[in-house]
Amino acid sequence: MKIAVLGGDGYCGWATALYLSARGHSVAIADSCVRRQWDAELGVQTLTPIRPLSERVQTWQKITSNTIDVFMGDVTDYDFLSSMISAFEPEAVIHFAEQRSAPYSMIDRKHAVFTQMNNVVGTLNLVFALRELRPDCHLIKLGTMGEYGTPNIDIEEGYIAIEHNGRKDVLPFPKQPGSFYHLSKVHDSHNILFACKIWKLRATDLNQGVVYGTVTDETALDEALVNRFDYDDIFGTVLNRFCVQAAIGSPLTVYGKGGQTRGFLDIRDTVRCIEIACLHPAAPGECRVFNQFTEQFSDLDLARMVKAAGERMGLAVELDHLQNPRVEAEEHYYNAKHSKLLDLGLEPHYLSDSLLDSLMNIAVKYRHRVDPSIMLPQVDWRHPSSERRRRVTDTSEPVAPAKIKRAAASASSAKRGASPLASK
């Protein structure tokens, strides 16, 4: 199958491109490498030393004899996008090419506007390009479970049957996103649903949970294929950050009470879900929604699991409860359906002790690269300003949000940012 991976230099995109290539599909990556620029802008870098995209793809070809075409450009540039679609003639397009960080979108007005423009325009360009050039091509779009927020009812997969005043309909599930980034994904979902309706495009909107893990069978083949492992306050996800904090002897920073519950999945399931979607395309005119995650955890669940994993390695791990920089419920009902991908054959990799141990091993392996100053939340939902950007050039210690309490579990006296293991 000919599959284009937009955003194929990013975390999920790179793993997906390699997985699909290894499974015999003909893969092209389109990317502008702007994700690497955002690292530079923020003064952060992935824990794992990723290589330039050209080197990544050349290494893959050397090892496997599989070619991955690279189209270097931005999907918000319609000339680029349409020429890429014309040249490659994909049967499926996986659209990862969006700004994907909630804190990034909350830095200030410019980052909020940029995130919505970048994501909405890229997706609009894509539906117009498919309509014009490849109307039968299957659009697979990465959404997020964060589109739904935390309603007090079960979360269905995209649509909900509503009975109201004696009448019935099946309608798009109401959305309550929690950042300007999450809002951009809601905007995309509405735009795509409409494009399917009027132009009979085929689309699968994957509302993905929080992804963890970095190693897949393919990225493990060579050090030059290593994937991202983001642990900073902007692009890092919670489980990665906890593992790195445990590895360097910093307390795990739980936001508020830590009762925030979300869907999670292993990156090895991300890549498989994408292939499942490709192999079972939506029908013309159909905008299908799958909730793409395998398990639900709260922040505090994860912190306790990482603490236990750290202790198995002989590390003393503490928990700090910081004032929550986000505006979100810290105790809430959460029950999100996620059976459609299982029905199509997904066999989940659940979060196990062995996976946690392997994540901890990666964190320990690369701990000489850790910058402990980039893990404390510096973006405040209630007060967006450009402070986060100024901090990059400020050599003083970042100011942590007020600490609520520290779990009295350990006698460690490690100070944040002062660990002998830290590189800075």
Q: Which residues bind a second copy (CB under 8 A)?
A: 78, 109, 112-113, 116-117, 120-121, 124-125, 128, 151-154, 160, 162-165, 167-169, 171-180, 183, 186-187, 190-191, 193-194, 197-199, 327, 333, 381-382, 384
Residue 298 CA to residue 260 CA, distance in Å, equals 5
DSSP 3-state of 190: helix
Considering beta carbons, is residue 385 or 412 the nearer one to a second copy?
385
Considering beta carbons, is residue 169 or 394 the nearer one to a second copy?
169
Six token digits for residue 222: 């060579």
* Cβ 396 to a second copy shortest distance, Å: 26
Of how many residues is the chain composed?
A: 424
* Cβ 174 to a second copy shortest distance, Å: 4
Active site residue 78: no
Considering beta carbons, is residue 213 or 263 the nearer one to a second copy?
263
Q: Are 216 and 270 in contact (CB under 8 A)?
A: no
User: Which residue shows structure tokens 């893959």?
Assistant: 60
* Cβ 37 to a second copy shortest distance, Å: 22
Bridge-based pairing of strands 167-172 and 210-212 is unpaired
* Cβ 24 to a second copy shortest distance, Å: 34
* Cβ 164 to a second copy shortest distance, Å: 4
Helix 180-199 with 109-133: angle, nearest 10 deg: 20
Six token digits for residue 60: 């893959």
Considering beta carbons, is residue 196 or 215 the nearer one to a second copy?
196
Q: Residue 8: which of 236, 221, 225, 280 has the closest Cα?
A: 225
Kindly name the residue from 141, 175, 185, 307 that is annotated as catalytic. 185
Residue 109 CA to residue 241 CA, distance in Å, equals 26
* Cβ 81 to a second copy shortest distance, Å: 11
Bridge-based pairing of strands 26-31 and 68-72 is parallel
Kindly name the residue from 144, 150, 216, 253 that is annotated as catalytic. 144
* Cβ 163 to a second copy shortest distance, Å: 8
Considering beta carbons, is residue 327 or 418 the nearer one to a second copy?
327
Q: Where are the beta strands (DSSP E) in 7-156?
A: 26-31, 68-72, 92-95, 138-144
Active site residue 181: yes
Partners of 144 in beta bridges: 208
Q: Are 314 and 360 in contact (CB under 8 A)?
A: no
Instruction: Categorise residue 7: left if φ over 0, alpha if ψ from -120 to 50, beta otherwise.
Output: left
Considering beta carbons, is residue 164 or 395 the nearer one to a second copy?
164
Active site residue 200: no
Kindly name the residue from 181, 212, 231, 366 that is annotated as catalytic. 181
Q: Residue 338: which of 143, 145, 94 has the closest Cα?
A: 145
Q: Are 287 and 366 in contact (CB under 8 A)?
A: no
> Which DSSP letter does residue 2 get?
E
CA trace torsion 15, 56, 358, 40 (10° rounding)? -90
Considering beta carbons, is residue 81 or 422 the nearer one to a second copy?
81
Known catalytic residues are 144, 181, 185
